[in-house]
Structure 1
Amino acid sequence: MTGNENQDSKMVQDEAPVVPRTNNEKEQMLNRLKRIEGQVRGLQKMIEEDRYCVDVLVQISAVSAALNKVGYSMMERHARMCVHQAAKQGDGEEYMDELMKVVQQFTKS
């Protein structure tokens, strides 16, 4: 990453969300990520065991879908909570621009 890319990726609010996550939200997100972590460990074991390529690819697809679901959930929460709150406070345009950059980055893959 060059210096310019680093500056371009700087977000409006790097320190904390505009609307802090509840303990329940954090717990749900962490549980999902832990399940994905387990799936990735399963993939590693499949490779170690030299499992059939198609079986490995199916599991890679499942991990990818699970990560996408977490990402879309996070984007929805950000739009409904952080961007909405920022708009109420007069910072909506800046936060919407930031959200759109993230949506474009997220959908590139």
Structure 2
Amino acid sequence: MQVQEDAVSDVVKRLRRAEGQIRGVIAMLEAGRDCADVVTQLAAVSRALDKAGFKVIASGLEQCMSGEGEERAADLAKMEKLFLSLA
């Protein structure tokens, strides 16, 4: 199962944004910024990664829903496991 092409662009944008946020957190730590500010930015990075992961999972679920029978049940179980790994 692959991520749908339209979702790839959105996920890449989200990951690049998170990458920039992580660089910002590193700079904050190196500059000795306040702990609360650093944690706030880490929470933002975490949300960005969660949203990227959800987009990938949602794309896969759309593909799984088009299957039938045992194949569909196996794919849904696999997607459930992936989804729960994000939690």
User: TM-score scaled by structure 1?
Assistant: 0.70
Unaligned runs of 5+ in 2: none
**Residue aligning to 1:92:** 72
How far does residue 54 in structure 1 lie from its aligned partner after superposition? Answer: 0.4
Structure possessing the higher radius of gyration over alpha carbons? 1
1 CA distance for matches of 2:46 and 2:68?
35
Where do residues 36-51 of structure 1 align in structure 2 (5 Å cutoff)?
36-51=18-33
Percent of paired sites with the same residue: 26
Structure 1's unaligned 5+ residue stretches are 1-15
The structure whose residues are more often helix, as a share, is 2
1:21 aligns with 2:4: yes
Q: Give the letter for the 2:11 counterpart.
A: M
> Equivalent of 2:51, from 66, 69, 77?
69
The aligned length equals 87
Are the structure 2 counterparts of residues 28 and 43 from structure 1 closer, same or farther at C-alpha, using a change threshold of 3 Å? same
User: Which letter does structure 1 place at the counterpart of 2:41?
Assistant: Q
- Give distance in 1, aligned partners of 2:51 and 2:7: 15
